[in-house]
Structure 1
Amino acid sequence: MAKKNKVVIKEKKHWIKISLFVFAGIVFAGIVFILANYLYFDINYKNKFFRNTNIIGIDLSGKTKEDAEELLTVRMQEWNETNLLVNDKEKSWEFSKTDLVINFDLEGTINEAYLKGRDGNYIIESINRVKRLFVAEESLIKYVVSNDSIKNVKEVIAKDAELQAINTGLVVKDGEIQETEESVGKKIREKDFFNNIKNEISNLTKNNIKLTYYYVFPNSDKDSLEKIKEEASNMLAQSITLSYKEKKWLIDPPLISKWITIDSSLNKKEDETLMYKSALEYMGRIWDKDDIVSFVNNSNNISLDNEKVSVYLNDIGNQIDIKAKNAVLNFTDGKLIVTEGAKKGIELDRENAKFLILSALKNKTKNVDLSVKESIAQVREDNLDELGITELISQGKSDFTGSTPARINNVKVGASKFNGLLIAPGEEFSFVKYLGEVDAAAGFLPELVIKPGKLIKEYGGGLCQVATTSFRAALYAGLPITERKNHSYVVHYYFWPFSGPGTDATIYGPHPDLRFKNDTGYYILIQTYSQGNRLFFDYYGTKGNRSATIDGPYTLSSNPDGSATTVFYRNVFENSILKRRDTFNSYYKPAAEFKREE
């Protein structure tokens, strides 16, 4: 028995020795393989990409980083030169790659691919290197793309590709309520679109991007439609009388039929399980259930066409409204004096009138009393200190010596239109606007006016004297001039106080006009007056640290026929520092080109 046990122990020791030899052999072979693997890759691929290394399908085996950069740059240039193609079963769209805001990381892409098999511990590196002997390692381009730019492309396509789901609706046509048909809508699957775009970028492929959609189904409420239809029909049969004091206005059924609109307001998307039940009747037309993801649910409301009702109420408002009147001011002896107090105004409350009309139609009320709102003047006795009218900021002047009695009349009447005028902060002054109608009723007389190729008598001849004087005051106030035109030919009335032509301004409504902007931050008060044959425009406000000078006018060319070219410069200073230098050119034709007509 003891002898048998010795034999068994001896056999076990034998197999242990064999196992140890086998294990040692495997370990040795593994070490040899790893060393050989390292030697193979490290020697043959020193500073080169390992075998079976691809970036977007380009084989970089045995190539350097510089080689990779050159190959990838060429591929990227080719990709950028092609357009982005998007299509569905019916249409196609084409966009420049520049529509997508993309930043490619070429260096990062190359380094990441190069380090695969070089950046782990020995075991992981060895496994990766062994795999590389048989299987290619594929890498994609690293990049960052603006999601907003993708969304912008998607929205451009959506305008052409998407369809709005429409429920059964109601419209008023020829005085009757009619139903409109419902229709299925479709929307672009945004997630799919983004993924497809990004896949196109990361692979630098030139494939068409296929649009995928989800369908939006109508969910018309027939019972609600019938109720709305009945209510609208009752409204169409009514007449309403609007009243304000003794005035009355009748709104009859034909007019009501032009105003009534029946709007659909969308509600939130319903729960998807409920949606499937609502969409069952459409299953025969739409086979792909994955595309049924939403349905539109809305409610119908009766309202009035805001634009049409506003036009009607504006006409009534013109018969009711009384505009608030600013206080009339005068600046005398360094003080701002009120010569005529401000007056409140009234105006039709148009929004309330719309509400009352709709309520009357719904409640079958026949009479509506209109309400008004009180309006207050911008310039009043109680806010004079807020206006900023504290000093003379500029003066414009001109000489009308030699004018006919009719021309003198027109100059003085025209100037009176601007006396006491207030220009609000930020307002663009228009000479033509504030001048108003130029006719006999306004006090003007016929006098010579320059028209294309002729001189003819019209009401208001000579008003350019007023415009020129106002222009000069605006220049010295440093105000931005937004519109100004010189006369067609040289007129001697517009020389003084300068030595020659070039600082005049002509007007003839609606254009040419004299315009400038009040950028002082305060109100400007205009006061006009004449002394002998000289006209003055005084501008009062807050001068602050601004000042202005005029350099010129200079005659650049002068011809025997009277034609001339002039220029002057306006320098605007803030705290004695030049902030702006404006150039004003004038071009004058020969006076002989303009024949006088009686």
Structure 2
Amino acid sequence: MPKPGGWGQNVTKKLATLIGKIARFALYPLAVVLVVSATYHLYFANKIIPGVVLGGVKVGGLTLDQAVSKTKQQELATKKEFTLWDQNGKNYSINLAEIDLAYDWDLGVRRAFEVGRTGNFITDTKDKLAGFVKILSVPAKYTYNKDLLGGQIAQIRSAINIPSISAGISLAKEGKLEITPEVYGKSLDEKALYDTIRICLDNMDRTDKTLAVEDDNPQYTKKDLEGIINQAQNIISRPIELSYQTNRYVLQAEDLVNLMRIGSSNGKAEINIDKTAFENLHTKIASDLNKLPLGQVVKEQDGRVLEFKIIQNGLEIDRGKMYTRFKQAFFGTEKSFAIPVKEIQSSKNGTEYGIFTLLGRGISKFTGSAQGRITNLALAAQRTNGVLVAPGKEYSFNQAIGEISGKTGYATAYIIAQGRTVLGEGGGVCQTSTTLFRAVLAAGLPITSRHPHAYRVGYYELESPVGFDASVYQPSLDFKFVNDTSGYILIQAATDTTTNTLTFDIYGTPDGRKVEISEPKLYNVYAPPAALYQDDPTLPKGVVKQIDFSAPGGTAEFTRKVTRGDELLFEDTYKSVYRPWRAIFLVGTKTN
């Protein structure tokens, strides 16, 4: 029989021995892992971990200096451009030398060295193991000029893009409408192109690439419009006539076609009124019919208005009603209607306009002017006299005085046109705009459109330094300003033929603004060219007639500063470049 406790002791001893062996075997792999890990970290302590590729260059296992050297050598050996192919086999180049491309390999290598060294045990371990079986790609670091690259892409865009054109309706012969067919287009996918370029730069990849080009389909096709061509033909079959008192506006077939816009409803094409074309029509008619309210300062003392009154209510087109009636005429059978207008009512004393103080005054002299010139400047002054400009609104001199022509009352006098002083309708009106310009300057109001004359005009320097003039020539040249005050602005003009003086006063609500205008500087002064004498067979021999007058050239410049307390509201500079002007004489050669 075994001794008591002997069997249990043997089992325990054997078990302990077994556990010891198992522990020794288990520690061997752990020891191996620790040794391998220590060897790995020791070997790659100053090197980039395996598998890292920077900008398309294998840098795993290299020191920082070795990696910088290798990437720089690879850049030198890499092409400076790559080719892009479109769907038609045409190629385009992106020239990297012309976009100021600069790689920063020092920065890129530091970023590559950080792979596996982020401090996150799981991420770093995964990257270190993955580097033995796959590429760990790190994009290169670089800079380039975006504008220069954009210029190259713009050239590719202009060569590839073909804009689509929707089918349309046009007027053919004999008042018949026809459908112009659609055009299918192409469009460069610029986002995809930029992504392609970025990838190429990231990896120093200069292999050929394919451009992404998208179809640009028209919104409407000929088939879409076949269902509305008959309706369009009915719309233009008769002209539309708009009228107000003696004013008539007749819209013919061509006008009505221009007022059409193709739209869609429930997926089908339909005819609408083109809002832009209608707005242009409204603006044209409004320039004839709309009348601003007219006011008058009856009494003032030391610049303070003692009595103001409305002398004429304003008139304007009721735009909403006009559109409704036009739409009825456009799509209906009744093709004529009266233009709806509404009167701009004012109180008897006009206190709501805020005309309390003289804000600015402009003066000019017309001494020596011909009668036709005086007639014109006085007529223009009369037609803008009393105009009230609402807060926030822009004043237009051309709109205020209306059309300048013989049929509107203007006489023939000398004007500047096509580089010469010639007789024309409305000569002298520029003195009116010049005088108003001076008043607006003094009032401290923002000027949005002002044009100097082509040459210096003696009339404008009788009561003013050089450079304080404003030319107008309809419809291109206009004088405009904005009322940026809290109340209305009143323009009041007076023509005194006894003293040959034209005066403009600007009235409104004072807001504490102060105006400082510098003395003008005159530089680059040129003497006028020698006089020119031209034979004229229509003048009797021996007769000499001066038709143009000399003036020195030069550049005049002054500034205006508008402040309120310590606040600078705005500061503007007015520069006038005057050409030297020669005198021209006609010499008669007629003998009988």
Length-normalised TM-score, structure 1: 0.63
Task: Quote the offset at 1:406 in angstroms.
Answer: 4.1
**Could you tell me which amino acid in structure 1 is paired with residue 378 of structure 2?**
K
Mapped pair 1:587 → 2:578: yes
Number of residues of Structure 1 aligned to a counterpart in Structure 2: 530
Mapped pair 1:530 → 2:492: no
Mapped pair 1:547 → 2:514: yes
Q: Could you say if the C-alpha distance between residues 460 and 57 of structure 1 is closer, same or farther in structure 2, counting changes exceeding 3 Å?
A: closer
Q: Residues 369-408 of structure 1 correspond to what in structure 2 (within 5 A)?
A: 374-377=340-343, 380-381=346-347, 384-385=350-351, 387-408=353-374
Equivalents in 2 of 1:245, 1:129: separation in Å?
86
CA contact (8 A) 2:291 2:316 kept: yes
Partner SS, residue 552 of structure 1: coil
Q: Residues 12-27 of structure 1 correspond to what in structure 2 (within 5 A)?
A: 21=21, 23=22, 26-27=25-26
Equivalents in 2 of 1:562, 1:215: separation in Å?
61
Equivalents in 1 of 2:36, 2:165: separation in Å?
64
**Could you tell me which amino acid in structure 2 is paired with residue 139 of structure 1?**
S
Mapped pair 1:337 → 2:326: no
Richer in helix (by share): 1
Equivalents in 1 of 2:437, 2:127: separation in Å?
84
Task: Quote the offset at 1:538 in angstroms.
Answer: 0.6
CA RMSD of aligned residues (A): 6.3
Mapped pair 1:575 → 2:568: no
Q: Residues 379-458 of structure 1 correspond to what in structure 2 (within 5 A)?
A: 380-381=346-347, 384-385=350-351, 387-449=353-415, 456-458=422-424
2:450 is aligned to 483
1:120 is aligned to 121
Mapped pair 1:205 → 2:205: yes
Structure 2 residues not aligned, in runs of 5+: 148-152, 300-304, 529-549
| CA deviation string 1:292-338 (max 9, x = no partner) | xxxxxxx4344367489969x959x96x9993533321122213301
Partner SS, residue 334 of structure 2: strand
Equivalents in 1 of 2:58, 2:169: separation in Å?
65
**Which deviates more, 512-521 or 410-419?**
512-521
Q: Could you say if the C-alpha distance between residues 137 and 173 of structure 1 is closer, same or farther in structure 2, counting changes exceeding 3 Å?
A: same
Task: Quote the offset at 1:494 in angstroms.
Answer: 2.9
Q: Residues 61-460 of structure 1 correspond to what in structure 2 (within 5 A)?
A: 61-65=60-64, 67-68=66-67, 82=81, 85=84, 87-88=86-87, 90=89, 106=108, 109-115=111-117, 120=121, 135=133, 138-141=136-139, 203-210=203-210, 265=264, 299-303=267-271, 306=274, 323-333=289-299, 334=305, 335-343=307-315, 345=317, 349=321, 351-352=323-324, 356=328, 367-368=333-334, 374-377=340-343, 380-381=346-347, 384-385=350-351, 387-449=353-415, 456-460=422-426
Equivalents in 1 of 2:214, 2:416: separation in Å?
69
| CA deviation string 1:59-118 (max 9, x = no partner) | 334423455466557778999964584644656566688899x999947842442428x8
Q: Could you say if the C-alpha distance between residues 159 and 266 of structure 1 is closer, same or farther in structure 2, counting changes exceeding 3 Å?
A: farther
CA contact (8 A) 1:177 1:229 kept: no
CA contact (8 A) 1:85 1:93 kept: yes
Equivalents in 2 of 1:437, 1:509: separation in Å?
8
Partner SS, residue 518 of structure 2: strand
Equivalents in 2 of 1:38, 1:341: separation in Å?
96
Structure 1 residues not aligned, in runs of 5+: 268-298, 361-366
Task: Quote the offset at 1:339 in angstroms.
Answer: 1.4
Q: Could you say if the C-alpha distance between residues 453 and 109 of structure 1 is closer, same or farther in structure 2, counting changes exceeding 3 Å?
A: closer
Equivalents in 1 of 2:122, 2:423: separation in Å?
102
Q: Could you say if the C-alpha distance between residues 357 and 83 of structure 1 is closer, same or farther in structure 2, counting changes exceeding 3 Å?
A: farther
Task: Quote the offset at 1:233 in angstroms.
Answer: 5.9
Equivalents in 2 of 1:551, 1:460: separation in Å?
32
Equivalents in 2 of 1:480, 1:438: separation in Å?
26
Equivalents in 2 of 1:457, 1:250: separation in Å?
33
CA contact (8 A) 2:241 2:251 kept: no
Q: Could you say if the C-alpha distance between residues 544 and 87 of structure 1 is closer, same or farther in structure 2, counting changes exceeding 3 Å?
A: same
**Could you tell me which amino acid in structure 1 is paired with residue 460 of structure 2?**
Y
Length-normalised TM-score, structure 2: 0.64
Task: Quote the offset at 1:506 in angstroms.
Answer: 4.4
CA contact (8 A) 2:492 2:504 kept: yes
